[in-house]
Structure formats: structure tokens, C-alpha cells
């Protein structure tokens, strides 16, 4: 175990080109921005001051304990992300915030369908995201950004296929700068297993999209098996329950299927009961590519550096271990990384 101070760790992380492969648009909105929008448009919950408003956006350990509790935090942002200019502004701020955290490659996830209540199309929603990200990248030319489109599990397989057809024109290869690089399913896991989305994921592969799947966060290892065997996932989002099945751990390692690990979020959603028991070190020891990510920085109250510092403290990681984790994220990104990889 390396003996290094917190200051040493922070300084070391500041030297690395960090990568976040699992960050959600509507879970990363600045509370101040939402508050200002609530003053401009209307109050989503009347009678709250800023502190009360902010508390509705963030995890509360005294009230929240499940994935569904966690997902409830997205209702307020959705009141204000139905308009082109708002989406553009928020996307720009998310990219700026990521850059300030030391992130040099960001894959931002969004489901366009839930931002269409005021009349936007899916492509207009993604155009707004692209414009916002592009504005940030002009100020930060060493920042790489791509978009992962999410299909909501509770919308069903047919809607997932329709969404693919709507957004195929936003693929990165059709644009000179930023575009869609991947496809995902998210939302309540238990009622909507991966097997319901086999056809959409076959179509996504045919269309040339890389694939990541939220699986094994609120369900057992069988959900991860389905994600890799039926959906041909390149990466797994969360995947905490995989540790319960030694054969699955070996499969993930053998096929080098990366697991996007979001430790703080995993504790808050109940995916793990104690962070000391998080499967991250087991995954690493088995040879699974682990990609430390944030999930929802606003909801969870974290930055990517926070998540690395947490992993270092909990599991006694060395500088070499951290370099390996950052390298995994670069190597398994859906965007070809331009940054020099940590040795």
C-alpha cells in the first residue's frame, strides 16, 4: 500500500487526463441554473427557498435508500429541460464542469424522449446538446466529448427501436465534431430486463453504435448475463451484482467487457450496502477493465476526483493502480482517445 497524503493524491490526479464514461445529462445540472430557470419560468415546487429547492435535487441519506428513490431526483430538472436553449446551456455547463474536474474525455448520456414534452423532436434535443458541448469545446480544445443515447426501459422495446431510427442521423461519423457514439438502456431495472431489448440492440449494432447497458445495479447476475449474451454489450453500467457469480466475473475478464463503476451512486441506490464491500477491487484482481465514473454528480454530490479519492482511500490504491484505471477508461471509451495514455 502506497503511503501518500490526500494532498499528494489530489496533485497526482490533477496531472492525469481523466475520463468519465458514465454521466447523465439530467443528473448533472447545476442547481443554480435550475433555480434561475425556476424563477424565469415557474416554480416546480412552490414555496421553497434555494436550499429547499436544492435538497430536492440531491440524495438524502435519511429519506432515500433505493434506486427508485434515487431516480425521483430527476423530476425537477425535467421541468426545465424541455426547451432548446435550456438544453444547450445545460450541456455547455456540464462540459465546463467536467473540464474543471480534470476530465479530458466525457461521454454524456441522455434520453431525448423525456425532453420532448414541449414539442422538440429527438434530433432537435440532440442538436441542442451538441451545440452546448461544442461551445465548451471551443474554450477547451483538449476536451473530447461524445453522446450516448439512452432508451428508457419503461418505454419498451418498440420505442427503443423508434428512438434509434430517430437519432441515427446524429451519429458522430456524420458530423465534423460531436455526435452520438453509443446506445444504452436505463431506468427501473427489475420490471424491464435486458431480454426485452434484444431486437433494439441488434438494430443498434447493425447501425454501428457501440453498446453499454445498465445492468446488475438493482438486479442479480442474470441481468448482466443477459446484457452480454443477448444485447452484446461492450460495457456494463454499474454491474455490482456480477461479483456474486464467479463464472460471470471470469467471462467479463475474458471478453474484456468494461464495467462502469460509480461507487457513491452504488451506495445511494442500494446496489451495495457498504462501500468497503464494493466489488471494485474484486473486478480489478480478476482482470476486468474498471472505469471509474460519476453517474450523476448533482444527485450524488460528487466529482470524478472525489470518486478516485474514495477508491484510493477505501482500497489502498497506488499511483500505478490509478494510472491503470484511467488507462482502462481511455481504452474502453466509445470515442477514440487523443490524450496520451498514462504509462
The catalytic residues are 217
Q: Which residues, other chains included, contact 215 with Cβ-Cβ below 8 Å and sequence gap of 6+?
A: 189, 194, 223, 224, 226, 227, 233, 236, 237, 238, 239
Q: Give backbone dihedrals phi and psi of 256, rounded to 5 degrees, phi first.
A: 50, 50
Q: How far apart are the first and last CA of the chain?
A: 19
Can you say how many angstroms the Cα of residue 216 is from the centroid of all Cα atoms in its chain?
15
CB-hemisphere CA count at 13 Å for 23? 30
Distances (CA, A) of 110 to 180, 220, 263, 304, 320: 10, 25, 21, 19, 33
| 3-state secondary structure string across 227-278 | HHHCCCCCEEEECHHHHHCHHHHHHHHHCCCEEEECHHHHHHCCCCCCHHHC
C-alpha cell at 204: 443498434
**b/e for 121-150, b at 16 or more Cβ within 10 A?**
ebeebbbbbbbbbbbbbeebeebbbbbbbb
Angle, nearest 10°, between helix axes 122-139 and 156-167? 50
Using alpha carbons, list the distances in angstroms from residue 239 to 26, 122, 278, 320.
21, 28, 11, 24
Amino acid at each position: 500500500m502506497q503511503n501518500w497524503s490526500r494532498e499528494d493524491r489530489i496533485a497526482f490526479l490533477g496531472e492525469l487526463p481523466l475520463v468519465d464514461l458514465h454521466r447523465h445529462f439530467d443528473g448533472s445540472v447545476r442547481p443554480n441554473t435550475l433555480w434561475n430557470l425556476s424563477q424565469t419560468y415557474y416554480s416546480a415546487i412552490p414555496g421553497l427557498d434555494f436550499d429547499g429547492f436544492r435538497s430536492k435535487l440531491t440524495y438524502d441519506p435519511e429519506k432515500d435508500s433505493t434506486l427508485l428513490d434515487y431516480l425521483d431526483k430527476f423530476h425537477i430538472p425535467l421541468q426545465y429541460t424541455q426547451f432548446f436553449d435550456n438544453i444547450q446551456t445545460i450541456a455547455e455547463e456540464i462540459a465546463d464542469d467536467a473540464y474543471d474536474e480534470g476530465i479530458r474525455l466525457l461521454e454524456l448520456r441522455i434520453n431525448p424522449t423525456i425532453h420532448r414534452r414541449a414539442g422538440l423532436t429527438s434530433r432537435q434535443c440532440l442538436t441542442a446538446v451538441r451545440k452546448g458541448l461544442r461551445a465548451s469545446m471551443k474554450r477547451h480544445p483538449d476536451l473530447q466529448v461524445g453522446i450516448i443515447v439512452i432508451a428508457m426501459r419503461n418505454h419498451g422495446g418498440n420505442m427503443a427501436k423508434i428512438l434509434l431510427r430517430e437519432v441515427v442521423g446524429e451519429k458522430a461519423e456524420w458530423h465534423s465534431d460531436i455526435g452520438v457514439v453509443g446506445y444504452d438502456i436505463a431506468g427501473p431495472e427489475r420490471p424491464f430486463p435486458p431480454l426485452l431489448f434484444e431486437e433494439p440492440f441488434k438494430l443498434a449494432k447493425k447501425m454501428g453504435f457501440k453498446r453499454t447497458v445498465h445492468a446488475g445495479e438493482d438486479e442479480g447476475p442474470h441481468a448482466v448475463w443477459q446484457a452480454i449474451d443477448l444485447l452484446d454489450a461492450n460495457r456494463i453500467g454499474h454491474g455490482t451484482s456480477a461479483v456474486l457469480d464467479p463464472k460471470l466475473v471470469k467471462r467479463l475478464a475474458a471478453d474484456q467487457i468494461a464495467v462502469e463503476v460509480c461507487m457513491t451512486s452504488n451506495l445511494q441506490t442500494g446496489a451495495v450496502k457498504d462501500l468497503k464491500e464494493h466489488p471494485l477491487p474484486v473486478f480489478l484482481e480478476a482482470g476486468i477493465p474498471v472505469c471509474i465514473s460519476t453517474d450523476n454528480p448533482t444527485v450524488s454530490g460528487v466529482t470524478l476526483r472525489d470518486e478516485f479519492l474514495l477508491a484510493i482511500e477505501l482500497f489502498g490504491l497506488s499511483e500505478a493502480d490509478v494510472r491503470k484505471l484511467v488507462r482502462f477508461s481511455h481504452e474502453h471509451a466509445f470515442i477514440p482517445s487523443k490524450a496520451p495514455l498514462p504509462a
